[in-house]
Amino acid sequence: MSAKKGGAAPLTADSPITDLPGFGPKRAALLEKLGLHRLGDFLGYFPRDYEDRTQIYTLSRAPGETRTCFRLLVAAEPTLARLQRGMQLVKTRAFDDTGSIEIVFFNRPYTQKQLKKGQEYIFYGKIEHAPRHPQLINPLFEAVGEEGAVTGRILPVYRLSAGISSAMIEQGVRAALACCPIPESPLPPALEQEMGLMDIREAYTQIHFPQSAGQAAAARRRFAFEELYVFCCASVGLKWEARTRVSRPLAYHDPRDFYRELPFQPTDAQRRAVDEAFADMTSPSRMNRLVQGDVGSGKTLVAAACAWLCRQNGRQAVIMAPTELLARQHQKTLQNMLAPFDMQVGLLVSAMPAGEKKRALMAAADGSFDLICGTHALLQSVVEFMDPALFVVDEQHRFGVAQRSALARKQPDSHMLVMSATPIPRTLSLIIFGDLDLSVIDQMPGGRQPVETYSVGEDKRRRVENFLLRQVEEGGQAYIVCPLIEEGEGDGREAAEAYVDRLARDLPSLRIGLLHGRMPARDKEDVMASFAAGMLDVLVSTTVIEVGIDVPNANLMIIEDAESFGLSQLHQLRGRVGRGSRQSYCILMRKGPRTPRLDIICNTTDGFRVAEADLRLRGPGDFFGDRQHGLPAFRLADLSGDLRLFEQARQAAEETFRRDPDLRLPEHAVLRGRVEAMLREENGARRN
């Protein structure tokens, strides 16, 4: 297919989809929702899976619970029956050397004439075990000798949307393969050869229309490695850039002068992290450091100490948090911690009243604020600082590499400190934080008791409610976490708004508050202030409380529909309790039977063990939930199954930058463009 009928101009990669025969404006609009805007886009629209319709099974050896191909002889003339409510039913029987089966079609009357008694067909479907005899229901079929349209090949399975069929995607892909130039490879030829990768032209054909399962796997491996290699080059490149970027070293001040003013003694792990950060900040090279620690391990102290060092040098510090709630809490916590040094900690978030925001912008620009806490609003061009020496990014998995880079561009010689309370397995940590040096806070502050965690079924709900009442009577407070905000959003899971109404009806003695992400910022702040002040007994919330909320008196957390959350998210939520002197509890309410998955969270409070299990069970695509992490949207790379490939990609990227730190060699021209595009796309996606 090289041109439309009627002598129209030849199709090219930039041709609009409407130039394809049969693709009008309505169909093109539907395809645009899948990211397909022009013909060339079909090339990179890779299948999400495949159906192997090349293997033919006998009825007696059919694999269970999967759709497969059978070569069967039709033994009877198909009959058509009209049932109640207008349903039409076509039936026949077919057999092979090992048995027979009933073929059933619902509301497909035309199949009565398509199937002929005494002829052989290839049927594709799953055997259903009806009460009397096995059935193939609505199978696809082709006459023996005519395979190729729906059977006899490996069929690509594409991500679809309403109004779009696989046949439409296939038509676009075939047209693109016929007339579009294949994108240039970002991989140096020597690396392709060393890795034994499929040629890129062949890979584009085999990824869409593989001749065998082995060819599909080889094409997928090629593109998965390419994705990982480009991402690793972006990450390694930023690390090389940070190492070579000259910074104005800060004058060293002994952190013991800072510790003396604290109402508590830092742990050895906190002191070690501070020492490592101070060593970076007082050296000529720019700091690019990650401080990683479990929930409640005390990373905020490290940020406070570094901000104090900036102040001792007459310079500012800035901290960026993923939510306004967390930014406001940082401002309050850090203001209290830094008050003995007469440091001014300001706030800058999008939802501030105009007058308040104007004053905050001026204070940030003229140096009145020693430390500025904010959200992604800090990235806006109108925000200016007075010679900041340090940028801190909290809960880094919620941001991308490009956002971190955009913040650093506000002051190119500034230092960068990244904090994450999400325990991340080492392999995944290398992917997300590959451009950072690492400090680990592996101790918890003294006096904390482990949170006792239980998995509980619906039959124990009354007992859980009585336990809640008892904890409140003894002076404690409770969080109750629901997966949804309002009813009608999901499949029967608990919704926070309806939950508040039911709880108030069933337990009228409780003072109950509601918190969720759609509430106005001021309302959220008021609710949290009331809960922190002890004016509320129970806070019913969505996962907006997952990070940063600190109410030491809260000692009970009940998580509804716990089976719908990832283990790492459950661990993060559990970290909101156990922050005071009371014995704390986390109750995981489930609608189904007890599962080994929830037992993992019940049996350990070690966040890194939880994270390893979460990665193993769910894979990194869901590891952080709802695409809230620094990973790009890989099309093919599956980091839970491609860890070895990732390690190879990372090693190759590091070798590339050892040879060509600026990617200026001709063989790296395409790679340089892909790396720059990845950073631009990620930053744009985060802003939107």
The total domain count for the chain is: 4
> Residue 41's CB: how many other CB atoms inside 10 A?
18
Q: CB–CB of 46/207 below 8 Å?
A: yes
Segment 240-261 shows an average pLDDT of 87
Cα(653)–Cα(645) distance, rounded to whole angstroms? 12
**Whether residues 321 and 386 fall in one domain:** yes
Cα(478)–Cα(471) distance, rounded to whole angstroms? 8
**Whether residues 431 and 313 fall in one domain:** yes
Output the pTM of the full model: 0.64
Provide the total of helices (H) and of strands (E) in the chain, helices listed first: 21, 24
Given a cut of 70, whether residue 666 has pLDDT beyond it is yes
The tokens 């046949």 sit on which residue?
A: 167
Q: CB–CB of 92/79 below 8 Å?
A: yes
Given a cut of 80, whether residue 315 has pLDDT beyond it is yes
Query: Is residue 459 a part of any domain in this protein?
Result: yes
**Whether residues 422 and 463 fall in one domain:** no
Q: What is the DSSP letter of 133?
A: S
Q: CB–CB of 440/293 below 8 Å?
A: yes
Q: CB–CB of 385/364 below 8 Å?
A: yes
| Short-list 552, 632, 634, CA closest to 223 | 634
Cα(189)–Cα(186) distance, rounded to whole angstroms? 9
Query: Is residue 72 a part of any domain in this protein?
Result: yes
Identity of residue 187: L
**Whether residues 2 and 116 fall in one domain:** no
pLDDT band per the 50, 70, 90 thresholds, residue 669: very high
**Whether residues 302 and 380 fall in one domain:** yes
3-state secondary structure of 103: strand
Residue 160: CA count within 13 A, CB half-sphere: 14
Condensed to tens digits (0 to 9), the pLDDT of residues 210-228 reads 999 899 999 999 999 999 9
Could you tell me the CATH number of the domain that includes residue 585? 3.40.50.300
- Torsions phi, psi for 268 (to 5 deg): -60, -35
Cα(196)–Cα(522) distance, rounded to whole angstroms? 58
**Whether residues 474 and 521 fall in one domain:** yes
**Whether residues 329 and 435 fall in one domain:** yes
Query: Is residue 657 a part of any domain in this protein?
Result: no
pLDDT at residue 473, as a whole number: 95
pLDDT at residue 326, as a whole number: 85
Cα(304)–Cα(313) distance, rounded to whole angstroms? 14
Residue 667 falls in which region: left (phi positive, over 0), alpha (psi -120 to 50) or beta: alpha
Could you tell me the CATH number of the domain that includes residue 94? 2.40.50.140
| Short-list 189, 279, 303, CA closest to 667 | 189
Q: What is the DSSP letter of 63?
A: P
**Whether residues 287 and 335 fall in one domain:** yes
* Domain range for 69: 60-152
| Short-list 294, 197, 293, 308, CA closest to 257 | 308
Condensed to tens digits (0 to 9), the pLDDT of residues 603-661 reads 988 887 787 777 667 555 444 443 334 456 678 887 666 778 888 998 999 999 999 98
The count of residues in the chain is 688
pLDDT at residue 247, as a whole number: 78
**Whether residues 318 and 345 fall in one domain:** yes
Domain termination site, one of 604, 619, 639: 604
Q: CB–CB of 330/344 below 8 Å?
A: no
Cα(524)–Cα(325) distance, rounded to whole angstroms? 8
Given a cut of 70, whether residue 425 has pLDDT beyond it is no
What percent helix, strand, coil does the chain show, rounded to 5? 40, 20, 40
pLDDT at residue 492, as a whole number: 65
Least confident of 216-225, 226-235, 330-339: 226-235
pLDDT at residue 234, as a whole number: 85
Element (H, E) at 348: strand 345-348
**Whether residues 132 and 164 fall in one domain:** no
| Short-list 164, 201, 168, 190, CA closest to 20 | 168
**Whether residues 381 and 517 fall in one domain:** no
- The residue with greater pLDDT, 3 or 233, is 233
Least confident of 72-81, 87-96, 164-173, 229-238: 229-238
Measured CA distances, 394 to 98, 100, 374, 548 (Å): 64, 64, 10, 10
Query: Is residue 324 a part of any domain in this protein?
Result: yes
pLDDT band per the 50, 70, 90 thresholds, residue 361: very high
Query: Is residue 219 a part of any domain in this protein?
Result: no
Q: CB–CB of 281/249 below 8 Å?
A: yes
| Short-list 156, 150, 182, CA closest to 169 | 156
Q: Kind of pairing, strands 452-457 and 554-559?
A: unpaired
Contacts with 260 (C-beta within 8 Å, 6 or more apart), sequence order: none
**Whether residues 49 and 97 fall in one domain:** no
Q: CB–CB of 239/434 below 8 Å?
A: yes
Measured CA distances, 74 to 594, 620, 652 (Å): 47, 47, 57
